[in-house]
Structure formats: structure tokens, C-alpha cells
Structure 1
Amino acid sequence: MGRASDALKQVLDAYSISQNKLAVTMGISRANVGRWYHGLDPSAENITQITQALKTLNPLAAKEFVRLYLGTIVED
């Protein structure tokens, strides 16, 4: 499992966000989210879209996704 897909799985599980809800918010098929959830890393462009969708659904989930994926690289 890649780092981004692992971060996405953790966030969706921790914040009780369904794969379908994320897919609908992003305007994509649930199968795409399912592939990411089960280990295929999303592209950089998709990571941006995932973050935006999570921010819409739950801003804390979006922050946690970025933290899990990037670590503390952008923090003080």
C-alpha cells in the first residue's frame, strides 16, 4: 500500500467518511476511490482533489490526510 492510499484509508475510517460519499463529492466513480482505498496511490492531481473534497466534508479530515501523507514538512 502506498503512502497516500494508506493515509486516505486511515482518514476515511477515522472520520466515518464512506468511499461513496468521497466519490460523489469529487464527482467521480466509487470504483476510483475504492482502488485508492485498497492500495493504488492516487496521482498528485487526485491528491489535491481528494484534499479539497475532504475539506468540504470535514476540514479536520482534510488536515489529517495532509498530515499523514506529507508529515510535518509544512508545519513550523
Structure 2
Amino acid sequence: MGQAGKALRQVLETYGISQNQVAVKMGIGRSNVYRWVNEVRDPGAEMVLQLRDALQEINPDASAEFVRLYLNKIQ
């Protein structure tokens, strides 16, 4: 568990993006993002895609890094 959460945590820290920014872009509660970042729950495949898209809107470099980290971690 936590592959997406680990990648997300690293990207948020590296790019200075808040959990709230991601939640607002995704139209979800911040508690959902908190659970992913802290590896309490994994986002489903659809949510991973929405995470990528939200990060793309906030910072395209962060989105690319998230995808890279996520794909490298699950191989």
C-alpha cells in the first residue's frame, strides 16, 4: 500500500504544493489527500489520473515527477 501516496508526498514536499491545493483542484476533501499522503488509503486508478491532472494544473513539472515516481515505484 502507499505507492501513489509515497510519490505524492515527495512531489508535494519538493514543489511546495499543499494538500489543500490538490484537494481544491480535484474537488474533494483535504482529508482524502491526507489519507493518501500518509498511506492510510491508496487512491484508486481513477483518482491517480485525477491527481496527475490536478498537479498538471498546479505545476506541470510536479505532475511529470509524480508520474515518474509512481511508475518507478510499482515496477
- In the superposition, the TM-score normalised over structure 2's length comes to 0.91
How many residues align? The count is 71
Structure 1: gaps of 5 or more residues: 72-76
Structure (1/2) with the larger helix percentage: 2
Post-superposition shift, 1:41? 1.4
Question: Are 1:18 and 2:26 counterparts?
Answer: no
In structure 2, the partner of 1:74 is none
Question: For the residues of structure 2 that align with 1:27 and 1:5, how far apart are their CA atoms?
Answer: 18
- In the superposition, the TM-score normalised over structure 1's length comes to 0.89
SS at match of 1:28: coil
Question: For the residues of structure 2 that align with 1:3 and 1:49, how far apart are their CA atoms?
Answer: 16
Question: Are 1:69 and 2:70 counterparts?
Answer: yes
Deviation string 1:18-76 (CA, Å, 9 cap, x unpaired) is 000100011100011010011021110000000000000000000000000002xxxxx
Larger radius of gyration: 1
CA RMSD of aligned residues (A): 0.8
Q: Percent identical across equivalent pairs?
A: 56
Structure 2: gaps of 5 or more residues: none
Q: One-letter code of the match for 1:4?
A: A
